[in-house]
Chains A and B, each alone.
Chain A
Amino acid sequence: MIESFNAVKQSLPYLLQGGWITIVIVTGAMIMGFFMGLCMAVGQVYGPSVLKRVIGVYIWFFQGIPTLVLLFLFYFGLFNYIGFNINALAAVTVVLGMTTAAYQANIFKGAILLLPRGQFKAASTMGMSDFQAITGVILPQILRLSIPAWSNEFSIVLKDSALAFVLGVPEIMARAKFIASRTYQYLPLYIIAGLIYFVLTWAGVMGLAKLAKTVRIPGYANKGI
């Protein structure tokens, strides 16, 4: 018991440093996914049909293949093949970013389609260009609508980031396994690792819920936006 306690106590700072790496991966992937996803959603709703089809194929590709396979495919396969030399941390971030972009595109697209079409028309009738209508009228509303689903996606990506371990990135899971295999304190170390993930998820989801509340449009009390 005391042995377990000591092992955990000694390894805690080391595990928490892994938490920073997880944060870097998830933040990078979510930001990348946000911008790519938003562009793809707008393209899928308002773009020409060729663009819609290209984006559709992209989304099917990343939705249809397990993230673990994608990691291997890109890191050991494609990136190597085209001579794109990046370290494992960057590779994980980029692959998770491309994957979540597909899911986020669907989130944003759903929100755009949910919005009454008349608002775009109204903006057009006042001489706003399509770009002005999208950035001034559509996006501010769909971003608010998307926060709950986006928060969900955040928690999924956060947990998927544990896969970085298979590429040797020293994030929480990799560090927990490394120490556990040296000290044989598997149970307490994996409990701690799980707890760190839990706390990170909780903080992020709470933060996003707070954001949703802050930007809520007055008068929509019961609609959650």
Chain B
Amino acid sequence: MGDPILSVENIKKSFNGVPILKGVDLCLNKGEIKILIGPSGAGKSTLLQCMNCLVPPDSGKFRLEERTVDITNKRELYVYRQQVGMIFQDFNLFDHLTALDNLTIALRKVKKMGKKEATARALAELSRVGLEEKTHLYPAQLSGGQKQRVAIARALTMDPKVLLLDEPTSALDPEVMGEVIDVIRNLAKRGMTMIMATHQINLIRTLADEILFMESGAVVEQGQPKVLLVPGTRSQGFCDKLDILTGKIK
């Protein structure tokens, strides 16, 4: 499979001498969806945050569309980050801005768009996630599911080539989880390249082109779901436990 968009090589990170990532390699092809699973503390979140240098890795090579990115160059890093969007578990909306302004602020400051143009773009993205009625509400006035949809719309305004999703549904109650999952499925349908850490078993089974199982800072298993999710693998054992939690296996 070729047409790699983003590849990272040998990402290492330790905190206070404790290695969290022990040299992870990863390559995302255009339109591909990779799903990261594994126990807490495996380094999934750190890996995702290293991929856009929110957590600067100790070492690692970054290539976006065949171009090597020098992450030590601030200007280059800012441009790189625009193209690698990120969705957080706890949304991280800007609390002092309306849903609409959460989207326009980066359009105006980073993309230097005019007010009209930015507003039009923001409204288009908000209506795509079904929030055209909520544009003038503040984050504190939105439900968790709505906040996460605003956050996704916000990331999309930058026209990212890749989206990193760090447990996007973990902070949501079951009733609103569905609306966020629908938005993610829609993104997949439109061909968005994504890498997502999640424990949402049906997302893992139905969306993943490839599953990466992480443990103690390394990818220990990796493959297509039909190859990997067979009895005896570490991944299958993990997914079985998720099934037990959701009541599918007793």
Contact = CB atoms under 8 A, between A and B. Distances in A.
Interface of A: 116, 118-119, 121-129, 132, 136-137, 140-141, 144, 217-220
Contacts of A124: 52, 54, 81
A218 B141 contact: yes
A90 to B, nearest CB: 37
Nearest to B136: A218
B54 A128 contact: no
Given A118-B88, A217-B140, A128 B96 contact: no
Contacts of B74: 129
Interface of B: 49, 52, 54, 74, 78-79, 81-82, 84-86, 88, 90-96, 105-106, 109-110, 137-141, 151, 154-155, 157-158
Contact of A218 (B49, B106, B138): B138
A140 B109 CA distance: 15
B156 to A, nearest CB: 10
B182 to A, nearest CB: 22
A132 B92 contact: no
A122 B92 contact: yes
A126 B94 contact: no
B154 A126 contact: yes
Contact of B81 (A126, A136, A141): A126
Given A119-B94, A217-B96, 9 more contacts: A122-B151, A124-B54, A124-B81, A129-B78, A132-B110, A137-B94, A140-B96, A219-B138, A220-B140
Nearest to A122: B92
A128 B155 CA distance: 12
A119 B95 contact: yes
B111 to A, nearest CB: 8
A125 B156 CA distance: 11
Contact of A127 (B78, B137, B138, B140): B78
